[in-house]
Amino acid sequence: ILHQHEHEVWYVQFSNKGDYLASSSRDYNAVIWT
């Protein structure tokens, strides 16, 4: 569960090396997870 988003998550993608995860949601927020 990604608590930083207030609505459902629409997209997630790992970086090429797998060090980061990017997520975006219906509330138009994008988060880079380290």
Prediction pTM value: 0.75
What's the structural domain count of the chain?
1
CB atoms within 10 A of CB 26: 11
Q: Which domain holds residue 26?
A: 1-34
Residue 34: which residues within 8 A CB-CB, separation 6 or more? 19, 20
Note the pLDDT of residue 3: 80
| Predicted local confidence at residue 5, as pLDDT | 82
- The tens digit of pLDDT for each residue in 4-31 reads 888 899 999 999 999 999 999 998 999 9
